[in-house]
Structure 1
Amino acid sequence: MMPVLHSTKNVHVVEPPTAEREGVGVFEYTDHFSVFHHGRMPDPIPGKGEATCRMAAFNFGLLEEAGIRTHFRRLIAPDRIEFTLARLPEQLDQPLMQTAGNYLLPLQVLFRNELPPGSSVHRRLAAGDITPADVGLDAVPALGAKLRRPVIEYATTRDDVNRFITPGAARHLAGLDDEQFAALREITCKVNTVLTGHADRVGLSHCDGKAEYLMASDGQLVLADSPGTPDESRLMFDGVHCGKQNLRDWYVRTGNQIPVGKLLADGVPRDRWPKPAPLPPAYVAVMADLYRSLSETWTGEQRWGAPDLQTSTRAVTDLVGR
């Protein structure tokens, strides 16, 4: 539930929220993708929006069956969901007060089960931004390391580039007391367990993911956004990424990476940022098959006659190897 500029979803307000009452919103899942915190990239991936939307609706069903309260209301086929809408943090007095209700926490909770190539943990360790102990590790992990227990981290959501923050800073930012913050972690671990268990059942690795929450007017935490989709989780099949990491890798490998951090540090207005290079048409076609294949594998619904996931990921590997 990031600002629309950065999001691949369009948000439509049906009923605005108030301090006393939740509102109603609709997410429209588009075919856009976003990498490097740049915002929407120039090439839509046909079918990505519907494939992701159907995974989101499926996941909310799984999570609610497990007793996790979510903001999901209903699927509006083919590519929209209706959800309970809360107030944004910037609409409230700062800092957030524990007595306030019906607001979106300005926080994402990240969970990590594996550390494959592309995980930010490797980059941050190499740069000296964190130590292994900071993320609960005994030593620098190898690429692809499977963790003995999930690592939980916290990051902001309302900045131009989201920042990792300490648990103490996260609790303060979200306006939670100790009991509420413990519940936040507990729910996140349960979300991870449910989604990782489903991934195992369908032959995928759920390497990492993130969750966002709203604080309901009754003072209870409610799971928000779209957990377990390829925009929010790192899913892999037989060692091949099943999401935008493939696109991120193309930009890096070809020298077309967008230096968002430097542009922001230099104060360059967004309307003066360089235009991202377009993807080769072959990448668009392969990724379109991959998203549909992933969705069909995950949900069990055969809607598009997409190639099976083994075929789709092999096509990704063949393309990257060129």
Structure 2
Amino acid sequence: MGSVKDLLVLEPPSEKKLGRGRFIFSDRYSVFDYGEMPDLIEDKGKAICIATSYFFEKLENLGIKTHYLGLVEEDKVKSLNDLKNPSNIMEFKMVRVIKPELKDGVYDYSIFKKEKENFLIPLEVIYRNSLPEGSSVFERLKEGSLKLQDLGLHSIPEKGAKLQKPIVDFSTKLEVNDRYLSYEEAKEISGFSKEEFEKIKNLILFIDEKIIEEGEKMGLINEDGKVEFAFDLEREFMVVDAVGTLDECRFTYNDIPVSKEIARIYYRNTDWYNEIVSAKKKNRFRWKEFIGNPPHLPKDLKNLISLIYKAYANELTKREWFDTPPLKDLLKRIKEILF
């Protein structure tokens, strides 16, 4: 399936019928679009599966359509409340994945204007509640690929700014490397009507609010995150993939990262990361050919990351799935190592 989870197809989807599949969340992880990294994060797959299931069930109860069917235990599909032990397998409704065709270095998205239902929307929809230093937003505003009015802003924000209102951003989903999109291009390549485009922006902001509420219960600030969507058989939006996890969201606690950002911070101080930056400038499609293998994470840091994933799942669901110290204690140790 991908660098961090595998796919088991039980019933393949067709043009007029949803399929059925299972995600097997692994202990693998990925940063900087590289793909599978050299270490495994113990129990990460189970922790991610528990967390996303919690949010899928919450959204379903609030009337938001999702592809979620349940968690798998002893080959039975169960709700989170009925699960006896943590599972890394989630069953879901499958849609078609239609990929844009690459022609002479340019992706052709015309297929998404012809297809009407039952497919993965080729966008990652991003909410931003703050703009930390290094955010892509600043460079994109400077170069003109992003406009202030797209973000609902009247002036260039300061670095590290907490936004009065969250902003919605878009990137590609099905290209070799994700790239950010203007609102016009996001609407164009997805085949959205004007009404659909407004609806998906409102929907991501609603989901953002729910993630904010859950994070605040743990003392976490929801800085930004991404959500993926599909069209169902009635061309209604359906939340898919995973949502509200430490891989999909960037949380902080007293300015300490609580997400995959921990690994990114470590790797940004390596020569390997500098190779990536140079290689992507050289060739955005084949950049991996120009870099070496990534170094391993230090053992102590890897173990701490594992515990953080597990503590988040425990405290989010208010159930002790894993034996871990409190999340706040773990983050204090992260601060000592990285800052």
Instruction: Tell me whether the two structures share a fold, i.e. TM-score over 0.5.
Output: yes
- Asked if residue 316 in structure 1 is aligned to residue 334 in structure 2, the reply is yes
Q: Which fold has the larger relative contact order, with Cα–Cα distance below 8 Å and residues 6 or more apart in sequence?
A: 1
Question: Of 243, 253, 277, which residue of structure 2 is paired with 1:237?
Answer: 253
Inter-partner Cα distance in structure 1 for 2:324 and 2:138: 33
Give the aligned residue type for 2:234: D
Q: Name the CA shift for 1:226/1:42 in 2 (closer, same or farther; >3 Å).
A: same
**C-alpha distance 265-146 of structure 1, shift in aligned 2 (>3 A):** closer
Partner residue of 2:241? 225
**Helix, strand or coil: the match of 1:24?**
strand
Q: Aligned to 2:193, which of 177, 180, 186?
A: 177
Q: Could you tell me which residue of structure 2 aligns to residue 90 of structure 1?
A: 99
Retained in 1: the 8 A contact 2:256–2:335? yes
Instruction: Name 1:52's counterpart in structure 2.
Output: 48
Matched with 2:70 is: 74
Work out the percentage of aligned pairs sharing the same amino acid. Answer: 27
Aligned letter for 2:48?
Answer: T
Structure 1 position 252 matched with structure 2 position 268: yes
Instruction: Tell me which of 299, 305, 317 is aligned to 2:317.
Output: 299
Q: Residue 274 of structure 1 corresponds to which residue in structure 2?
A: 292
| Structure 2: segments with no counterpart, 5+ residues | 74-86, 102-108
* CA–CA distance in structure 2, aligned partners of residues 131 and 260 of structure 1: 28
- What per-residue deviation string (whole Å, max 9, x for no partner) do you get for residues 262-317 of structure 1? 43554547466411111111111111111111111212111212110111101101
Question: For 2:273, what is the secondary structure of its paired residue?
Answer: coil
- Kindly tell me the number of residue pairs found equivalent between the two proteins: 317
Q: Contact between 2:121 and 2:231, CA under 8 Å: does it hold in 1?
A: yes
Distance, in Å, in 2 between the alignment partners of 1:258 and 1:303 is: 38
Corresponding residue for residue 82 of structure 2: none
Secondary structure at the counterpart of residue 336 of structure 2: helix
| Higher deviation after alignment, 262-271 or 56-65 | 262-271
Residue number in structure 2 paired with 1:287: 305
Q: Which amino acid aligns with 1:232?
A: E
RMSD: 2.4
State whether residues 126 and 169 of structure 2, in contact with CA within 8 Å, keep that contact through their aligned partners in structure 1. Answer: yes
For 1:159-170, list aligned pairs within 5 A.
Answer: 159-170=175-186
Q: Which moved more, 1:302-311 or 1:194-203?
A: 194-203
Q: CA deviation at 1:238?
A: 2.3
Q: What secondary structure, in the 3-state scheme, does the structure 2 residue paired with 1:292 have?
A: helix
In the TM superposition, residue 10 of structure 1 has moved relative to its aligned partner by 1.2
TM-score (norm 2): 0.86
